[in-house]
Amino acid sequence: MSLVSLDGARRHPRLAIWLIALALGAALFFGWIGYARTLDPRNVSWISHEDPATHLIGWEQYRNAPLVQYPITKNGLYGLELSSNVVFSDSIPIAAIALRPLSDLLPQPFQYLGWWVLLSCVLQAYWAVRLVLLRTDRVRDAVLGSLLFITTPVLLERFGGQTAVGSHWLVLWALWLYLNGRGVQLRAWAVLLVLTVSIHAYLFAMVGPIWAAHLVACWRQRQLGRREVALAAATVLGVVAWMHVLGYFMIGKGAAAAAWRSNCDLLAFLAPAAGARQRWLPVIYNDPWDGCMYLGAGAIALLVGSAAAWLVAGRRRASPEPEPPRPSRPPWTPLVIVVIGLALFAITNDVKLLGHHVVNLPFPRTLDRLYEMFRGAARLMWPAYYLVLLSAVWLAIRAWPARAVTWVIAAAVLLQLYDVTPETRIKRTELAAPGVLREPTDPVWTVLGEHYARIVSVPTHNRQPDWPLFAWFAARHRMGTNIGYLSRVDPVAEAAVARAHIHAIGTGTYDPDTVYYVPGAEVWNIARATMGPEDVALIADGFRLIVPGGRRWMAQPPLPPLAPLWTDQWLTFNQPDHTGLLFSGWSWWESWGTWSIGPRSRITLPAPANQRVRVSFRWFSPFSRRRARVQIAGQRFDVAFPIRDQEVSSSFEVDATTPLLDVEIDVAGVVVRPDNQSTVGIGLVAARVQLASEPVQDLSP
C-alpha cells in the first residue's frame, strides 16, 4: 500500500482546516515569536535588518510611480538608471501591486511586512495540515504533525528578515498538488505558478520543477491527453508573459548584486541552528539566512525513531487500511529526481562536510550563469527539507500502533519546541534592536528634500554603507536615488552611471536637480575644486555633499582648506580610505586589497589635469595565463598574468585631460573563489599616478 493511501482532507470541511490553521498560525505569530507589534502598518521601528528595510523602501518609492506603466512594477525612483522595480527590492510584488491603487488612502509610511508574515504562518499551517491528512484521517495527528512544519528553524530564520522568500507555504502547496493523487490539476497549478512568480523568484525555481515532475508523473499514468498538453504549454507561455509584465527581464543579462554565493553542507539537516539547544554537531552553515537547514531535534528524533519502529515491525501495518486503486497513487520517481536535482544545485560544486571543503568540482560556464542568477543556491534545498520532514510524520503514522501515534508525534513536537525556542528569543531581541530606518538630523536635509528631485552617490555601490539612511530619506521626500540595496543590478547601466559621474566630477557639470553624496575624500576634494560659484559643498551629519545651485537656499558653510588634488604616492586598497575611488565592479576591501567581481570594473584616479602621466598598478590574478584589457583616457593596453596569485606590476602612459582619470578594466572571464563561492576577476593591491617626465621608480609602495 502506498504512503499516499488516504486523503483525510476530503473527510473534513475546509472551513475546519482553515480555522485550525488560523489558530496555529496566530499562536506561532503572536505567542511564540511575539510579532504582534509588526502588525501596526505605521510602525517601522522594528525593522532592524537591511532586507526588510529595502522591502519597505522599494514599496514606499513604488507608491510614487505611475498607476499605468510597463512593466507594472517599475520603480524608477529607487535605483534611477539602475532600472529597479519591486521585484528586485523583494517588496512582495503581488502585495505592492494590489495596494498601489489605494496608496493615497494609506498612511505615510505604510508597511505590510508584518501582515505578510502572519499570513505566511497561517498558510504554512494550513498546507501542513492538508499534507499530513493525505496519510491519516485523524485530525489531532495532522495538527500535531503540522506543528513541526511551523516551528522549523529554516522558516524561523526568515521572519523579520527575508519576508517574501519566507513564503514556504508555496512549496508545501506544490508538494500537496503532487501527492494528492487527483490527476493533472492544471488550473490549480496555473494559479500556484502565477502566484509564486508574483511573490519571489527563488520559490518559483522550486515550485516550477515540482510541477514539471508532476506532469511527468501524469504522463506515466496516461493522464496527459492533447488537451492537457496544450493547456500546460499555455500555462508556460502565460507565466512567462506575466514575468514580462512584472519586470523580471528589465535588466536583461544583469548580474547579481553581489558576487557572494551560498551553498549547503552535506550534513546541513543535522547541524544545529544558531539558537538551537542541541549541539551534537557544530554550527556549520556559512551564513545566517541561507545555509541553515537544521531539521530540529524533534523532527530528527521522530524520523530516526519511526524508521527503527518500521524496521522492527517489518512490513506489517500498525493500522491496516484498504488498498487504494493503483491510478490514485502518484509515482514518486519524478518528484524524487527533481528534489535531488535541486538539492545537488544547493550543495554547489564546492562540496562541504561539517564546514570543511571536500572537493571543488569544475562545471561549465552555463551552469555558472545559473548560479549568478540564484546566488542563494542553498535555498533550493527547501523542497528536499520539507519532503524529509513530511516523510518523518508519514512514517510515524505508518510505523507506530494507532494508539501510540499521537503520543509519539506529540513527544517529537515537545522536543522540537524545547530545541528551537531559543531561536524565538533571538527574533524577539531583533525586534527590540534599534531600527535601521533612521532620519538625518541636520536641518539642511529638510531644505534638500524640498528643492531637489534626486540624491545620488558618487561612486554608486549597491548596499553601500549607510544606504538605509539615504534611501529612506529619499523615499520620505519622494526623491529618486541610486543608493539602495537591490537583488539585481544592470551592469551596463551601472557602468554608464559611473562614466557620467566621473565626467560630472571631473568637469564640474552637475545636474541642477541632483544632490551628490561623495563618500571618498579624494573625489570629494576634486568635486569641491571643480564646482561652480553657485554650488555649495557641505558636510551634514558627517556626510560629504555637493549641492548644485545651493547658494539659492543656503550659504557656503566653512570647510577645511582644499587638499592637493593629486599626489604621486601609492594608493592602497586594503583599507576604506581609498575605496571611494572604486566606482563599479569591486568587492569590499580586504587585508591585502580588493577583488574585482565581474568581467568589467571601473576605477578613477586623481591626476594632474592637462599633463602626460604614468599610471601604475600592482595586481594579480587567481588563475594562471590570464589576460586583461585596460582602457585609460581612451587608450587601450593589454596586461598578462602568467602565474597564479603572483603580483604583477604594470605601467601605462596617457594624457590626463581632467583631474580624474577614468580607468576601465576588462578581464577575460571570472573565477569562483573556493572560500566563499564569490566570482572574482583580478586582485587590485595598489595604484599610482606620476608625471610621465619623472624617472621610472621601483613599483613598490
Domain final position from 382, 402, 432:
432
Do 349 and 408 have their domain in common?
yes
Domain final position from 377, 411, 432:
432
Alpha helices in 162-260 (DSSP H): 169-179, 186-197, 201-220, 226-246
Distance, in Å, from the CA atom of 360 to the CA atom of 674, rounded to the nearest integer, reads: 7
- Comparison of pLDDT for 197 and 421, the residue scoring more: 197
Do 475 and 529 have their domain in common?
yes
pLDDT of residue 6: 36
Q: pLDDT band at residue 600, thresholds of 50, 70 and 90?
A: confident
pLDDT(326) > 50 = no
Is residue 474 situated within a structural domain?
A: yes
pLDDT(313) > 90 = no
- Please enumerate in sequence order all residues whose Cβ is within 8 A of that of 313, keeping only pairs 6 or more positions apart, or say none: 399
* Among 5-14, 189-198, 454-463, 686-695, the range of highest mean pLDDT: 189-198
Strand duo 454-457 + 480-481: pairing: parallel
Is residue 176 situated within a structural domain?
A: yes
DSSP run (H or E) holding 386: helix 382-399
Do 621 and 503 have their domain in common?
no
Do 213 and 292 have their domain in common?
yes
pLDDT(281) > 90 = no
Distance, in Å, from the CA atom of 418 to the CA atom of 410, rounded to the nearest integer, reads: 12
Residue 220 φ/ψ region, left for φ over 0, alpha for ψ in the -120 to 50 degree band, beta for the rest: alpha
Burial state string for 357-370 with b = 16 or more CB within 10 A and e = fewer than 16: eeeeeeeeeeebee
Overall average pLDDT of the 585-589 stretch: 84
- Comparison of pLDDT for 437 and 260, the residue scoring more: 437
- Comparison of pLDDT for 161 and 549, the residue scoring more: 549
Whether the Cβ atoms of residue 631 and residue 502 lie closer than 8 Å to each other? no
Is residue 192 situated within a structural domain?
A: yes
Do 592 and 681 have their domain in common?
yes
Q: pLDDT band at residue 285, thresholds of 50, 70 and 90?
A: low
pLDDT of residue 329: 67
Is residue 465 situated within a structural domain?
A: yes
Whether the Cβ atoms of residue 423 and residue 271 lie closer than 8 Å to each other? no
Do 465 and 425 have their domain in common?
no
Is residue 256 situated within a structural domain?
A: yes
Q: What is the pLDDT of residues 410-450, one digit of tens each?
A: 999 999 999 988 888 888 888 888 889 999 999 999 999 99
Burial state string for 268-292 with b = 16 or more CB within 10 A and e = fewer than 16: bbbbbbebbebeeeebbbbeebbbb
Quote the cell numbers at residue 255. 548580474
* Among 21-35, 135-149, 167-181, 671-685, the range of highest mean pLDDT: 167-181
Q: Which of 584, 528, 573, 563 is closest to 82 using CA atoms? A: 584
Average pLDDT for the chain: 87
Distance, in Å, from the CA atom of 604 to the CA atom of 598, rounded to the nearest integer, reads: 17
Q: Could you tell me what percent of the chain has a pLDDT over 70?
A: 89
Distance, in Å, from the CA atom of 291 to the CA atom of 378, rounded to the nearest integer, reads: 6
pLDDT of residue 626: 84
pLDDT(327) > 60 = no
Q: Which of 583, 573, 607 is closest to 686 using CA atoms? A: 573
Residue 40 φ/ψ region, left for φ over 0, alpha for ψ in the -120 to 50 degree band, beta for the rest: beta
HSE, side-chain direction, 13 A CA sphere, residue 368: 16
Is residue 134 situated within a structural domain?
A: yes
Do 257 and 323 have their domain in common?
yes
pLDDT(236) > 90 = yes
pLDDT(374) > 50 = yes
Do 266 and 407 have their domain in common?
yes
Residue type, 381: M
pLDDT of residue 330: 76
Do 454 and 428 have their domain in common?
no
Distance, in Å, from the CA atom of 479 to the CA atom of 345, rounded to the nearest integer, reads: 40
pLDDT of residue 318: 46
Do 454 and 424 have their domain in common?
no
Do 603 and 654 have their domain in common?
yes
> What domain count does the chain have?
3
Q: What is the pLDDT of residues 535-562, one digit of tens each?
A: 999 999 999 999 999 999 999 999 999 8
- Comparison of pLDDT for 72 and 576, the residue scoring more: 72
How many CB atoms are closer than 10 A to CB 625? 11
DSSP secondary structure letter of residue 658: S
Phi, psi dihedrals of residue 350, rounded to the nearest 5°:
-95, 90
Overall average pLDDT of the 308-312 stretch: 90
Q: Which of 246, 207, 483, 488 is closest to 375 using CA atoms? A: 488
Phi, psi dihedrals of residue 170, rounded to the nearest 5°:
-65, -40
Q: What is the pLDDT of residues 493-541, one digit of tens each?
A: 888 888 899 899 999 999 999 999 999 999 999 999 999 999 999 999 9
pLDDT of residue 7: 43
Overall average pLDDT of the 140-146 stretch: 92
Instruction: Give the 3-state secondary structure of residue 582.
Output: strand
* Among 325-329, 641-645, 685-689, the range of highest mean pLDDT: 685-689
Q: pLDDT band at residue 1, thresholds of 50, 70 and 90?
A: very low
Q: pLDDT band at residue 195, thresholds of 50, 70 and 90?
A: very high
Domain final position from 492, 518, 552:
552
Which CATH number belongs to the domain containing residue 655 in this structure?
A: 2.60.120.260
pLDDT(172) > 80 = yes
DSSP run (H or E) holding 286: none
Do 40 and 150 have their domain in common?
yes
Distances (CA, A) of 474 to 67, 327, 478, 498: 20, 59, 6, 20
How many CB atoms are closer than 10 A to CB 388? 17
pLDDT of residue 161: 81
Overall average pLDDT of the 386-405 stretch: 94
pLDDT of residue 697: 52
Is residue 565 situated within a structural domain?
A: no
- Comparison of pLDDT for 402 and 205, the residue scoring more: 205
- Please enumerate in sequence order all residues whose Cβ is within 8 A of that of 418, keeping only pairs 6 or more positions apart, or say none: 277, 297, 298
Alpha helices in 512-554 (DSSP H): 521-530
Distances (CA, A) of 572 to 169, 618, 654: 49, 9, 21
Quote the cell numbers at residue 528. 569641491
Q: Could you tell me what percent of the chain has a pLDDT over 90?
A: 59
Instruction: Give the 3-state secondary structure of residue 101.
Output: helix
Is residue 84 situated within a structural domain?
A: no
Q: What is the pLDDT of residues 648-697, one digit of tens each?
A: 999 999 999 999 999 999 986 555 555 545 567 899 999 999 998 765 55
Please give the residue range of the domain that contains residue 189. Answer: 8-47+111-432
Overall average pLDDT of the 617-628 stretch: 89
